[in-house]
Amino acid sequence: MRDVPPSLGSSSAVEPHVHRHVAESFGADPARYDRTRPPYPTELVERIVAVSPGPDVLDVGAGTGIEARQFQAAGCRVLGVEPDARMAEFARRSGVQVDIATFEAWDPAGRAFDTVISGTAWHWVDPLAGAAKATDVLRPGGLLAPFHHVHQPPPEVGEALAAAYREVAPDSSLNMTGRLVRSAPEAYQPLFDRIADGIRATRGFCEPEQWRYDWERHYTRDEWLDHLPTLGGLTQLPADKLSRVLDAVAVAIDALGGAVTVAYATVAVTAVRLRERVTEPRRASAG
């Protein structure tokens, strides 16, 4: 799972794949990433498997293999594509087959799939090129299903994190404040809309649908502080600045009793590949 660049909360934000250098920082500590990032709702996995016309799944931005292992457990054959060799190696050790490449540059070598998934990673992919590539590698009737975790800590914790981040990184292009103080749907809907627009632009899919699953996770203070360094933006901070951010968040959690319940929404944008790609009608010649 990859953290969404917080600047995406604004409709005027740049395309997220421009921040791909952030995605390449997650492999600095893949064991922490795999340990602290939550899996995806079982209901979502089961729904995708039920809609998929077969068991062959391509996982774009596979990371350490969190969602790939879930789909393997559901009976799927999963191939991951992951640009960070450190993350890919961790996933391989956990039993996931992974090719090292960005999705746009990846060579499928004639392989085809029933479903293309992406666990909180599709925002690192060019939305147009990614959807077009998915059209090429999916079998007719196959499913494209990128999905994202969106988390929202209690306001006291989110505001402490945002304030500390502003203090240590005032010039950062990744503005941490927007998504931490607004509701998840408000902050992230522009991202989901861009994903859907990229899918529509290929003219190779049925109209996209949006599936949403709301849930909560309880963290002790130490568990949440262990999780925070895996978030985009925080992965870029030097150790001394990261420590200052974590200290500020720890104070906020202690004030709440030493634990925090974080609200999550997991949102999938799904579309079924058409049997034949729609083409523009040919115009009649003049005269």
Helix (H, G, I), strand (E, B) or coil at 169: coil
30 pLDDT exceeds 60? Answer: yes
Give Cβ neighbours of residue 20 (< 8 Å, ≥ 6 apart). 102, 124
Please answer whether residues 265 and 214 qualify as being in contact, where contact means their C-beta atoms are separated by less than 8 angstroms. yes
Structure tokens at 70: 């879930």
Helix axes 184-202, 127-137, angle to 10 degrees: 50
Residue 186's pLDDT is: 73
Strand partners, 152: 263
- CA distance linking residue 45 with residue 11, whole number of Å: 30
Decide if 263 contacts 184 (C-beta within 8 A).
Answer: yes
The fraction of the chain above a pLDDT of 90, given in percent, is 76
Confidence bin at 173 (pLDDT 50/70/90): low
Three state DSSP letters for 116-147: EEEECCHHHCCHHHHHHHHHHHEEEEEEEEEE
Nearest to residue 71, comparing CAs of 91, 55, 90, 94? 55
- Phi and psi (nearest 5°) for 56? -85, 115
- Span 119-145, pLDDT tens digits: 999 999 999 999 999 999 999 999 999
Whole-number Å distance between alpha carbons of 248 and 250: 5
The whole-number pLDDT of residue 171 equals 77
**11-25, 58-72, 159-173, 198-212: the lowest-pLDDT one:** 11-25
DSSP 8-state assignment for residue 7: G
pLDDT at 232: 78
Farthest CA pair distance, the chain: 80
From residue 237, alpha-carbon distances to 29, 147, 166, 172, 198 in Å are 14, 27, 12, 10, 32
Mean pLDDT of the region 77-95: 97
pLDDT over 60 (residue 284): no
pTM here? 0.87
Residue 184 pLDDT class (50, 70, 90 cuts): low
Question: Can you tell me the distance from the alpha carbon of 13 to that of 8, in angstroms, rounded to the nearest whole number?
Answer: 6
Mind listing the pLDDT tens digit for each residue in 35-51?
999 999 999 999 999 99
Q: Summarize pLDDT for 187-246 with one digit per residue, the tens.
A: 899 999 999 999 999 999 999 999 999 999 999 999 999 999 998 778 888 999 999 999
Q: Is 170 helix (H, G, I), strand (E, B) or coil?
A: coil
**Domain covering 6-153+182-217+263-272 in this structure, CATH number:** 3.40.50.150
How large a percentage of the chain has pLDDT more than 70? 82
Rounded average pLDDT over 170-175: 67
Summarize the confidence of residues 105-120 as an average pLDDT.
Answer: 97
The whole-chain average pLDDT of the chain stands at: 87
Three-class DSSP category at 53: coil
Residue with tokens 């202690």: 254
For residue 146, how far is the Cα from the chain centroid?
Answer: 8
Mean pLDDT, residues 91-120: 97
